[in-house]
Amino acid sequence: MSTAAAERRADGTAARKPATMAQALNRAMRDAMAEDPTVHVLGEDVGTLGGVFRVTDGLTAEFGPERCTDTPLAEAGILGTALGMAMYGLRPVVEMQFDAFAYPAFEQLVSHVSRMRNRTRGAMPMPLTIRVPYGGGIGGVEHHSDSSEAYYLATPGLHVFTPATVADAYGMLREAINSDDPVVFMEPKRLYWSKDADWDVNRPPAVPPAGQAVVRRRGTSATLITYGPSVPVCLEAAEAAAEDGLDLEVVDLRSLVPFDDATICESVRRTGRAVVVHESTGFGGPGAEIAARITERCFHFLEAPVLRVAGFDIPYPPPMLERHHLPGVDRVLDAVDRLQWEAEWTEGSTR
């Protein structure tokens, strides 16, 4: 079949090209800026270059440098400026370019951004979105591949969103920009080029609100709980486990704050077993909090301890070693094997 023919539907109309997560994020900001003149985008190289990952491509050309603004290489200054903009009624959207680049701005985030609405007893909203490309898998060097979500998760006053699909990237970024609370929007950079042929840029489908987890794959044997870049890994692991007769459920958290205890507990109470998977470190990482919450709420339903598959407790390794550091399918399946299965569960298993 020719390329031209492949791009036509049966009814003769042109088929949509698959949309990427980067394109969905770009469209979310473009639509927000078109609808609300108080929405401003700022960060390093977001203007003329369109961002390192081209997520802000075309925004300066369409809305002008006053609303999509290149800033100096000074993260504390960027976030401090955005804080002032939000206090004066604007809705700034900050790009931190890379995960570990955000650390110099952490004092502004913890001391001021996260506390402002509480400090003023709700009188001063803080409609500030901080976009943080995070995670590994792209061969990035140190300071370019951290999974820093644990820091934000442990900071009261912040919401923490982390989409894993094209549809969620658009819908959740729109929700973040519209929020009167500060949102740290964690973008899994290795999923920027993931595609969705069904996502319609002209009519983006509605998605559940942040704080509502989604079951990406139904199962009965055990629950894999994950988010962001580890969602595709867990789905692949579930397909591999099916060959051994195990039916794994995969739950995508979608946001770490707010957290959906109800969906997680409903799943774990049915399956009796759970594995939490993420790229952040294991010690003190998000999985520790999630495992504790499951144990507190589902203890009498558990058939085995809640296990974690995480990045190692080390600074992010050099690119050639990151495949060993990142949770992969084999490590997830190894954890599933350690869920204290009774003999009848594993009878006939090849692993």
Active-site positions read 144
The CA-to-CA distance between both ends of the chain, in Å, stands at 41
Burial 139-158 (b: 16+ CB within 10 A, else e): ebeeebbbbbbbbbbebebb
Angle at 275 between CA 264 and CA 273, to 5 degrees: 70
CA dist 14 → 183, 261, 278, 344 (Å)? 38, 43, 39, 52
Sign of CA dihedral 211, 246, 334, 190: negative
Structure tokens at 168: 């969620």
The Cα 204–Cα 173 span in angstroms is: 12
Dihedrals phi, psi of 307, to nearest 5 degrees: -105, 160
Per-position b or e across 95-128, b if 16+ CB within 10 A of its CB: bbbbbbbbbbbbebbbebbbbbbeeeeeeebbbb
Q: Is 33 left (phi over 0), alpha (psi -120 to 50) or beta?
A: alpha
Residue in the block written with tokens 């050099």: 318
Q: How many CB atoms lie within 10 A of CB 299?
A: 9
Cα–Cα distance for residue pair 20/55, rounded to 1 Å? 10
Beta-bridge partners for 339: none
Residue 177 near residue 129 (C-beta atoms within 8 A): yes
Contact 181, 152 (CB under 8 A): no
DSSP-derived 3-state class of residue 319? helix
